[in-house]
Amino acid sequence: MTEILRISQLSITPAHAPERKLVNQVSLTLARGKTTCIVGESGSGKSLTALSIMKLLSPQLRMQGQIFFEGQDISHYDETAMQHLRGQKMGMIFQEPMTSLNPVLTIGFQIGEPLQTHLGLKGAALKQKVAALLDQVGIDPNRANSYPDELSGGQRQRVMIAMSIACEPALLIADEPTTALDVTVQAQVLQLLNALKDRMHMAMLFITHDFGVVADIADEVIVMFRGEIVESGSVAQVLHSPQHPYTRALLACVPDAEGKKVLQPMTYDWLTPN
Ligand SMILES: Nc1ncnc2c1ncn2[C@@H]1O[C@H](COP(=O)(O)OP(=O)(O)OP(=O)(O)O)[C@@H](O)[C@H]1O
């Protein structure tokens, strides 16, 4: 296993309330060519964990712990050092591409930006690489001059994917990238991410609350509850023999064969009182 990222004892608290642990003592390792899914209900600390890797936490939050990226401790990197990593060595895609895409710039220009900034590409070489990236994510390269609002939701997410993989990052973080898409488009985007991860041999950290998605793409699974990891293991272990009552309760919410959600009342009697 080639380690790409290791988080050691990550804790995140509001600056004004250091006793309130939003993320508590989280440790995890991501390997090259593998997809690790973080699952958990809303507010369990999934996004904060992902944002802390990129050092994109709100200034109102404080982070403790260490983050190693390709063997380097990046916990104390300043903004300039992080800008060098972001978009080049680490890519990130979010649930809603319109919040990240600029509506007044063409998609070709936006896909080209990281290539200019990090790799110094310009002119014909830049145009050629943008066309190749569009093709790679399943968009006709002739659409490079389109604006984001001329595309469907699924196509916009494909543009975001093209931007995030443009410099062939070692790590791709995907925070609920398919939640806003309809089921068919969701399956296509998952398939695309999986294929790109394999082709480029990236480590992928994929955040979701959907065990159907986990079953489709995960190698490893981490279950978070109230800021802590309650269970982790291979996808087979966690999905087929979950050890923790919270994981079992989450799994019980997965829709059955007819698509009906079988909600089980969740009890928290396994929680130890603080
Ligand atoms: N800037 C902030 N200041 C204070 N609390 C915050 C801040 N950002 C997030 N939180 C809190 O931290 C907790 C974890 O948030 P996080 O966004 O990581 O959850 P999540 O598991 O990703 O949820 P979701 O699936 O809804 O995105 C939540 O209780 C949230 O309200």
Interval between CA 63 and ligand 1 midpoint (Å): 14
Residue-wise DSSP of 216-239: HH-SEEEEEETTEEEEEEEHHHHH
Per-residue model confidence as pLDDT tens digits over 109-149? 999 999 999 999 999 999 999 999 999 999 999 999 999 99
- Judge whether 22 and 13 are in contact, CB under 8 Å: yes
Give the start-to-end residue ranges of the domains of the chain.
Answer: 1-89+170-244, 98-168
Residue-wise DSSP of 49-93: HHHHHHT---TTEEEEEEEEETTEE-TT--HHHHHHHBTTTEEEE
The ipTM assigned to this model is 0.96
Predicted confidence at residue 264, as pLDDT, reads 47
Interval between CA 167 and ligand 1 midpoint (Å): 29
Per-residue model confidence as pLDDT tens digits over 40-89? 988 999 999 999 999 999 999 999 999 999 999 999 999 999 999 998 99
Residues with CB under 6 A from ligand 1: 14, 22, 40, 42-48, 58, 60-61, 209
What is the atom index within ligand 1 of the atom nearest the CA of 40? 21
Per-residue model confidence as pLDDT tens digits over 169-211? 999 999 999 888 888 888 999 999 999 999 999 999 999 988 8
CATH of 1-89+170-244, one of 3.90.1300.10, 3.40.50.300, 3.30.465.10, 3.40.50.970: 3.40.50.300
Count Cβ atoms below 10 Å from residue 268 Cβ, excluding itself: 10
